[in-house]
Amino acid sequence: MGDKKIKTALISVYHKNNLDKIVKKLHELGVKIFSTGGTQKFISDMGIEVTTVESVTDYPSILGGRVKTLHPKIFGGILARPDNQTDRTEMEQYHIEAIDLVIVDLYPFEATVATGASEDEIIEKIDIGGISLIRAAAKNFNDVVVIPSQEQYNILLDLLNEKSGTTSIEDRKNLALEAFNVSSHYDTAIFNYFNANRQKKAFKKSVLDAMPLRYGENPHQSGVFYGNFDQVFKKIHGKEISYNNLLDIEAAVYLIDDFEETTFAILKHNNACGIACRPKLADAWKDALAGDPVSAFGGILITNTKVDKETAAEIDKLFFEVIIAPAYEDDALEVLKSKKNRIILIRTDFSLPVVQHRSLLNGVIEQDRDTKTETVADMKTVTKKQPTASELKDMEFANKVVKHSKSNTIVLARNKQLLASGVGQTSRVDALKQAIDKARNFGFDLQGSVMASDAFFPFPDCVEIAGMAGITAVIQPGGSIRDQESTDYCDKHGLAMVVTGTRHFKH
Closest CA to 133 of 109, 113, 153, 107: 107
101-105 and 8-13 strand pairing:
parallel
Q: CB count, 10 Å around CB of 307?
A: 26
The H-assigned helical ranges of 196-305 are 229-232, 243-256, 281-290
The single-letter code of the amino acid at 121 is E
CA torsion angle 284 286 291 295 (round to 10):
110
Q: Which helix (H) or strand (E) holds 394?
A: helix 389-403
Residue 64 buriedness (CB in 10 A; 0-12 / 13-18 / 19+): exposed
**Residue 103 DSSP class:** E
* Separation between Cα atoms, residue 378 and residue 374, nearest integer Å: 6
**Phi, psi torsion values for 370, nearest 5 degrees:** -75, 95
* Separation between Cα atoms, residue 167 and residue 162, nearest integer Å: 10
Q: Which of 21, 269, 306, 385 is catalytic?
A: 269
Q: Is the dihedral of CA 377, 383, 385, 387 positive or negative?
A: negative
Is residue 139 part of the annotated active site? The answer reads: yes
Residue 202 buriedness (CB in 10 A; 0-12 / 13-18 / 19+): exposed
* Separation between Cα atoms, residue 435 and residue 409, nearest integer Å: 9
Q: Which of 139, 286, 337, 393 is catalytic?
A: 139
Radius of gyration of the chain (CA): 31
The single-letter code of the amino acid at 313 is A
User: What's the CA angle centered on 385, arms 379 and 387, to 5 degrees?
Assistant: 45
* Separation between Cα atoms, residue 259 and residue 144, nearest integer Å: 57
Is residue 269 part of the annotated active site? The answer reads: yes
**Annotated active-site positions, please?**
139, 269
